[in-house]
Amino acid sequence: DGGITQSPKYLFRKEGQNVTLSCEQNLNHDAMYWYRQDPGQGLRLIYYSQIVNDFQKGDIAEGYSVSREKKESFPLTVTSAQKNPTAFYLCASSIGVSGGDYEQYFGPGTRLTVT
Amino acid sequence: GESVGLHLPTLSVQEGDNSIINCAYSNSASDYFIWYKQESGKGPQFIIDIRSNMDKRQGQRVTVLLNKTVKHLSLQIAATQPGDSAVYFCAENYGGTYKYIFGTGTRLKVLA
Protein backbone atom coordinates (compact mmCIF):
# COMPACT_ATOMS: atom_id res chain seq x y z
CA ASP A 1 0.00 0.00 0.00
CA GLY A 2 1.34 3.41 -0.93
CA GLY A 3 0.86 6.27 1.44
CA ILE A 4 2.08 8.50 4.21
CA THR A 5 2.53 7.28 7.74
CA GLN A 6 2.90 9.36 10.85
CA SER A 7 3.80 8.09 14.25
CA PRO A 8 2.80 8.07 16.94
CA LYS A 9 -0.91 8.91 16.68
CA TYR A 10 -0.91 10.46 20.17
CA LEU A 11 2.09 11.97 21.92
CA PHE A 12 2.33 13.46 25.39
CA ARG A 13 5.27 15.51 26.62
CA LYS A 14 6.18 17.71 29.51
CA GLU A 15 6.84 21.37 28.92
CA GLY A 16 10.51 22.07 28.20
CA GLN A 17 11.14 18.80 26.37
CA ASN A 18 11.90 18.51 22.69
CA VAL A 19 9.87 15.95 20.77
CA THR A 20 10.23 14.52 17.27
CA LEU A 21 7.30 13.54 15.09
CA SER A 22 7.85 10.98 12.40
CA CYS A 23 6.64 11.18 8.80
CA GLU A 24 7.40 8.58 6.15
CA GLN A 25 6.09 8.26 2.60
CA ASN A 26 6.49 5.55 -0.02
CA LEU A 27 4.86 7.49 -2.84
CA ASN A 28 8.21 8.51 -4.31
CA HIS A 29 7.20 12.14 -3.89
CA ASP A 30 9.86 14.82 -3.97
CA ALA A 31 8.02 17.39 -1.88
CA MET A 32 7.00 17.04 1.75
CA TYR A 33 5.27 19.42 4.13
CA TRP A 34 4.43 19.86 7.79
CA TYR A 35 1.25 21.62 8.87
CA ARG A 36 -0.27 22.46 12.18
CA GLN A 37 -4.03 22.31 12.72
CA ASP A 38 -5.76 24.18 15.54
CA PRO A 39 -9.48 24.42 16.32
CA GLY A 40 -11.28 26.93 14.12
CA GLN A 41 -8.25 27.62 11.94
CA GLY A 42 -7.11 26.48 8.54
CA LEU A 43 -3.95 24.44 8.20
CA ARG A 44 -0.80 26.48 8.72
CA LEU A 45 2.48 25.59 7.05
CA ILE A 46 5.44 24.98 9.35
CA TYR A 47 8.13 23.74 6.97
CA TYR A 48 8.33 22.27 3.50
CA SER A 49 10.97 20.45 1.52
CA GLN A 50 11.19 20.28 -2.25
CA ILE A 51 14.04 17.79 -2.40
CA VAL A 52 16.39 15.80 -0.22
CA ASN A 53 18.74 17.89 1.90
CA ASP A 54 16.74 21.03 1.27
CA PHE A 55 13.92 22.57 3.31
CA GLN A 56 12.34 25.97 3.74
CA LYS A 57 10.46 27.73 6.51
CA GLY A 58 6.75 28.11 6.19
CA ASP A 59 4.52 30.64 7.89
CA ILE A 60 5.00 29.47 11.49
CA ALA A 61 8.47 27.87 11.65
CA GLU A 62 9.55 29.41 14.97
CA GLY A 63 10.13 26.74 17.60
CA TYR A 64 10.28 23.91 15.06
CA SER A 65 13.05 22.19 13.15
CA VAL A 66 13.15 19.58 10.39
CA SER A 67 15.56 17.43 8.43
CA ARG A 68 15.34 15.75 5.04
CA GLU A 69 18.16 13.23 4.81
CA LYS A 70 16.12 10.73 2.84
CA LYS A 71 13.44 11.20 0.21
CA GLU A 72 11.02 9.08 2.19
CA SER A 73 11.39 10.78 5.56
CA PHE A 74 10.72 14.27 6.89
CA PRO A 75 10.77 14.31 10.71
CA LEU A 76 9.61 17.37 12.62
CA THR A 77 11.08 18.36 15.97
CA VAL A 78 8.98 20.51 18.24
CA THR A 79 11.42 22.31 20.48
CA SER A 80 10.94 23.83 23.91
CA ALA A 81 11.02 27.23 22.20
CA GLN A 82 7.59 26.64 20.66
CA LYS A 83 5.18 28.62 22.85
CA ASN A 84 1.99 26.67 22.13
CA PRO A 85 3.00 23.23 20.94
CA THR A 86 -0.23 21.41 21.74
CA ALA A 87 -1.89 20.80 18.36
CA PHE A 88 -2.69 18.28 15.67
CA TYR A 89 0.27 17.93 13.30
CA LEU A 90 -0.18 16.84 9.70
CA CYS A 91 2.47 15.73 7.27
CA ALA A 92 1.81 15.85 3.53
CA SER A 93 3.63 15.09 0.31
CA SER A 94 3.25 15.91 -3.36
CA ILE A 95 5.00 14.80 -6.53
CA GLY A 96 6.61 18.19 -6.83
CA VAL A 97 6.06 21.76 -5.91
CA SER A 98 5.77 23.36 -9.31
CA GLY A 99 4.91 22.43 -12.82
CA GLY A 100 1.34 21.37 -12.29
CA ASP A 101 1.82 18.48 -9.86
CA TYR A 102 0.01 20.19 -7.06
CA GLU A 103 -2.08 17.66 -5.21
CA GLN A 104 -1.01 17.09 -1.62
CA TYR A 105 -1.58 13.77 0.09
CA PHE A 106 -1.88 13.86 3.87
CA GLY A 107 -0.87 11.47 6.58
CA PRO A 108 -3.17 10.48 9.47
CA GLY A 109 -1.74 13.10 11.83
CA THR A 110 -0.14 13.16 15.27
CA ARG A 111 -1.93 14.72 18.21
CA LEU A 112 0.69 16.32 20.46
CA THR A 113 -0.23 17.36 23.98
CA VAL A 114 2.28 19.27 26.07
CA THR A 115 1.57 19.85 29.75
CA GLY B 1 -11.85 12.50 19.03
CA GLU B 2 -9.91 15.46 17.70
CA SER B 3 -10.86 18.97 18.70
CA VAL B 4 -10.07 20.50 15.32
CA GLY B 5 -13.75 20.62 14.41
CA LEU B 6 -14.84 22.80 17.32
CA HIS B 7 -16.46 26.15 16.49
CA LEU B 8 -16.96 25.31 12.82
CA PRO B 9 -20.14 26.14 10.90
CA THR B 10 -22.30 23.05 10.68
CA LEU B 11 -24.51 21.84 7.88
CA SER B 12 -27.09 19.24 8.85
CA VAL B 13 -28.58 17.24 6.00
CA GLN B 14 -31.06 14.42 5.87
CA GLU B 15 -29.68 11.15 4.53
CA GLY B 16 -30.40 10.91 0.83
CA ASP B 17 -30.62 14.66 0.30
CA ASN B 18 -28.05 16.70 -1.58
CA SER B 19 -25.49 18.77 0.33
CA ILE B 20 -23.90 22.03 -0.74
CA ILE B 21 -20.83 23.26 1.09
CA ASN B 22 -19.43 26.67 0.31
CA CYS B 23 -16.01 28.26 0.44
CA ALA B 24 -14.94 31.84 -0.16
CA TYR B 25 -11.34 31.90 -1.30
CA SER B 26 -8.95 34.74 -0.70
CA ASN B 27 -6.69 35.27 -3.70
CA SER B 28 -8.23 36.29 -7.01
CA ALA B 29 -5.08 35.01 -8.74
CA SER B 30 -5.40 31.48 -7.33
CA ASP B 31 -5.59 29.00 -10.16
CA TYR B 32 -6.03 25.63 -8.51
CA PHE B 33 -8.49 24.51 -5.88
CA ILE B 34 -8.99 21.35 -3.88
CA TRP B 35 -11.76 20.07 -1.64
CA TYR B 36 -10.71 17.87 1.27
CA LYS B 37 -12.73 15.71 3.63
CA GLN B 38 -11.47 15.21 7.16
CA GLU B 39 -13.00 12.69 9.53
CA SER B 40 -12.51 13.01 13.24
CA GLY B 41 -8.97 12.10 14.28
CA LYS B 42 -7.77 11.53 10.73
CA GLY B 43 -5.81 13.35 8.08
CA PRO B 44 -7.54 15.18 5.22
CA GLN B 45 -8.59 13.14 2.21
CA PHE B 46 -8.58 14.54 -1.31
CA ILE B 47 -12.08 14.65 -2.79
CA ILE B 48 -11.91 16.64 -5.99
CA ASP B 49 -9.95 19.44 -7.58
CA ILE B 50 -10.55 22.10 -10.19
CA ARG B 51 -8.36 24.48 -12.14
CA SER B 52 -9.29 28.08 -12.78
CA ASN B 53 -9.92 27.50 -16.48
CA MET B 54 -12.98 25.45 -15.54
CA ASP B 55 -16.30 26.39 -13.92
CA LYS B 56 -17.45 22.93 -12.99
CA ARG B 57 -16.01 19.49 -12.47
CA GLN B 58 -17.79 16.30 -11.58
CA GLY B 59 -16.62 13.25 -9.73
CA GLN B 60 -18.41 10.31 -8.25
CA ARG B 61 -21.38 11.82 -6.36
CA VAL B 62 -19.52 15.12 -6.02
CA THR B 63 -19.46 18.28 -8.11
CA VAL B 64 -17.28 21.32 -7.60
CA LEU B 65 -18.38 24.70 -8.92
CA LEU B 66 -16.03 27.64 -9.27
CA ASN B 67 -17.19 31.24 -9.56
CA LYS B 68 -14.13 33.38 -10.11
CA THR B 69 -16.12 36.59 -10.28
CA VAL B 70 -17.02 36.39 -6.62
CA LYS B 71 -14.15 34.12 -5.51
CA HIS B 72 -16.49 31.34 -4.50
CA LEU B 73 -16.13 27.60 -4.55
CA SER B 74 -18.82 25.07 -3.73
CA LEU B 75 -18.92 21.34 -3.22
CA GLN B 76 -22.11 19.48 -3.99
CA ILE B 77 -22.59 15.99 -2.65
CA ALA B 78 -25.44 14.01 -4.18
CA ALA B 79 -27.52 11.58 -2.14
CA THR B 80 -25.65 12.28 1.07
CA GLN B 81 -24.81 9.21 3.13
CA PRO B 82 -23.89 8.75 6.82
CA GLY B 83 -20.29 8.09 5.75
CA ASP B 84 -20.15 11.62 4.35
CA SER B 85 -20.27 13.07 7.87
CA ALA B 86 -16.98 14.92 8.31
CA VAL B 87 -15.36 18.33 8.13
CA TYR B 88 -14.91 19.62 4.59
CA PHE B 89 -12.49 22.37 3.68
CA CYS B 90 -11.16 23.97 0.55
CA ALA B 91 -7.61 24.81 -0.40
CA GLU B 92 -6.36 27.29 -2.99
CA ASN B 93 -3.04 27.52 -4.76
CA TYR B 94 -1.46 30.10 -6.99
CA GLY B 95 1.06 29.36 -9.68
CA GLY B 96 1.87 25.83 -8.63
CA THR B 97 3.99 26.91 -5.70
CA TYR B 98 4.33 25.28 -2.33
CA LYS B 99 1.90 27.80 -0.88
CA TYR B 100 -1.60 26.55 -0.20
CA ILE B 101 -4.23 28.56 1.65
CA PHE B 102 -6.66 26.37 3.54
CA GLY B 103 -10.17 27.27 4.62
CA THR B 104 -11.32 26.62 8.16
CA GLY B 105 -13.92 24.10 7.10
CA THR B 106 -17.58 23.20 7.47
CA ARG B 107 -18.85 20.28 9.49
CA LEU B 108 -21.36 18.13 7.63
CA LYS B 109 -23.77 16.11 9.77
CA VAL B 110 -25.91 13.54 8.05
CA LEU B 111 -29.16 12.81 9.86
CA ALA B 112 -30.62 9.32 9.58
pLDDT at A7: 92
In degrees, rounded to 5, the angle at the alpha carbon of residue A101 between the alpha carbons of residues B57 and B4 is 75
Residue A1 clears pLDDT 60, i.e. is over it: no
> Within 13 Å, how many C-alpha atoms sit on residue B15's CB side?
5
On the 0-12 / 13-18 / 19+ scale of CB atoms within 10 A, B62 is middle
Nearest-CA distance from A64 to chain B in Å?
18
From chain B, the residues in CB contact with A6 under 8 A are: 43
How much is the average pLDDT of A60-87? Answer: 96
pLDDT per residue as tens digits for the range B51-102: 999 999 999 999 999 999 999 999 999 999 999 999 999 999 887 777 889 9
pLDDT at A100: 56
pLDDT-wise least confident of A89-93, A94-98, B89-93 = A94-98
From chain A, the residues in CB contact with B37 under 8 A are: none
Distance (Å, whole) CA B17 – CA B34: 23
B45 contact A CB<8A: yes
A2 contact B CB<8A: no
Nearest-CA distance from A113 to chain B in Å?
12
Residue A76 clears pLDDT 90, i.e. is over it: yes
> Looking at chain A, how many residues does it have?
115
The DSSP result for A12-34, as a single string, is: EE-TT--EEEEEEE-S--SEEEE
Which one-letter amino acid corresponds to residue B65? L
Residue A78 clears pLDDT 50, i.e. is over it: yes
pLDDT per residue as tens digits for the range B2-56: 334 456 899 999 999 999 999 999 899 999 999 999 999 899 999 999 999 999 9
Q: Residue B50's closest CA among B19, B73, B28, B70? A: B73
